Amino acid sequence: MTQDTELLTQIAVAGIDYLTLDQTQLAEYRFSDESAFLAEAREHFKGVVLLQTCNRVEILVHGTGTALTDYLHSIGRSGFVLYEGQSALLHLLALASGVKSMIIGEDQILGQLKRALLLSAECGTADPITDICINTAIHAGVDIRSTTRINRGAVSIGSVAVQLAEELLGSLDDRNILVVGGGEMGKLVTQALAEKNLRAIYVTNRTYNHAVELAQEVGGRAMRMDQLYPCIALSDVVISCTAAPHAIINAEPLAIAMNERFWPLDPEPRKLILIDIAQPRDTDDSCRRIPGVHLFTIDDLRSVSEKNMEHRKDEATHANEMIDAYLPEFVRLYNRTAAGDLIAGLYTWAESIRVRERDKAIGKLGPADPRTIAIMDDLTRVLTKKLLADATMSIRASAECTDITTARKLVDAITRGEQVCFLKHD
């Protein structure tokens, strides 16, 4: 199959990520109300899926690239990369396999894709095309990880944050670590920390029970959010990863907490490593100016990611080869699903004729009892289905074989009486 094999219906993806924007710019680009965006986009496209992670914003639509571009421009979004047709399918495969992630091979993108698809279903913007695209990409992503070693080692932002802390301090042995956030990212961070020889792990979260559950899993200690700054004063490293829409670590109370970090005769407080991997940021940037505070964000994790990538270059190459190999099957599944629209149109055409002819026949019978009407309706319905069965099979088979022209000609021949011409090959 060639790279320009035609798809039976149009698909497009508009994406922007950490390679184009820093974290501050990416935060401004994001859609703060995902459900509202999907509700509005539903008026323009047959299907829409919105994927937003720490490092990217991706919009998948069942529609044309031109329509997607025009729509995004109309709501003030620009600078994205547009993928159409098979390029869009390849992009989805690359996303799901982790080769386009900042942390190459990370597994979290699979769960994020599943949640994006679930949200689109809840908001009424899912359709068979967007469903087959996301589900096929997820399946391929799982298979690629099981076949390659691309997800070995530090393969999440959480685990890379821990690796960065270790590099900055030389070792995490006998250190006190505070994790702010009890969600998925907080769990990844604590799991990575559990492998270290720490003195203590503290976990705090807006929902205290979540902090308790997470702390119990790793032998840590849960703290209430109103104990945040006293906990910071006790910690060598703070890794923050909440889902709060605003900063929760602010300069003034942090400066007060830092005043408690002086050893006798020390001219300045003990060093505090703050690693903020939340999106949007948990930490007010003015905290950088506080003596002793060393603030790092997702943007600073790139150097660690690049080091990890050195160990995964061969696996990434293998993954990309598998992505190319998956494309023909992806196109087959895509076109099989897309054939549903052609077949639905065929059946709509046939149904209108069936109902018209049924009513004519009933009219000729004169007054008819309900049983007779029911028998006529059932008879015409069964005949229509049986008469179209072979044509439906041929249309779907042609679509699966990427013979789009034949699939469309078969429908046109039946519904419009157009002649089907096949080229003869010597």
Is 55 labelled as part of a ligand binding site?
Answer: yes
Is 240 labelled as part of a ligand binding site?
Answer: no
Element (H, E) at 403: none
Is 131 labelled as part of a ligand binding site?
Answer: no
Is 223 labelled as part of a ligand binding site?
Answer: no
Which of the residues are catalytic?
Answer: 54
Is 321 labelled as part of a ligand binding site?
Answer: no
* 126, two tokens: 């899912």
Is 108 labelled as part of a ligand binding site?
Answer: yes
For CA atoms 203, 158, 238, 30, the dihedral sign is negative
* 181, two tokens: 């956030």
* 140, two tokens: 């391929």
Is 52 labelled as part of a ligand binding site?
Answer: no
* 43, two tokens: 């008026």
Q: For residue 390, is it left (φ>0), alpha (ψ between -120 and 50) or beta?
A: alpha
Is 206 labelled as part of a ligand binding site?
Answer: no
Is 9 labelled as part of a ligand binding site?
Answer: no
Is 107 labelled as part of a ligand binding site?
Answer: yes
* 298, two tokens: 């997702």
- Closest Cα partner for 89 from 314, 407, 402, 410? 402
Amino acid of residue 352? S
- Closest Cα partner for 90 from 52, 47, 141? 141
* 186, two tokens: 């907080």
- Is residue 191 within 8 Å of 239, Cβ to Cβ? no
Distance CA(351)–CA(367), nearest Å, equals 24
- Is residue 166 within 8 Å of 118, Cβ to Cβ? no
CB neighbourhood size of 389 (10 A):
10
Distance CA(273)–CA(238), nearest Å, equals 6
Is 56 labelled as part of a ligand binding site?
Answer: yes
DSSP states of 47-82: -EEEEEETTEEEEEESS-HHHHHHHHHHTT--SPEE
- Is residue 200 within 8 Å of 220, Cβ to Cβ? yes
Is 65 labelled as part of a ligand binding site?
Answer: no
Distance CA(254)–CA(382), nearest Å, equals 75
* 32, two tokens: 């703060």
- C-alpha 223: how far from chain center: 32
Is 63 labelled as part of a ligand binding site?
Answer: no
- Closest Cα partner for 97 from 31, 22, 149, 57? 149
Is 209 labelled as part of a ligand binding site?
Answer: no
Is 105 labelled as part of a ligand binding site?
Answer: no
Distance CA(114)–CA(55), nearest Å, equals 17
Annotated binding-site residues for NADP(+) read 181-186
Q: Output the known binding site.
A: 53-56, 101, 106-108, 112, 181-186
Which parts are annotated binding residues for substrate?
53-56, 101, 106-108, 112
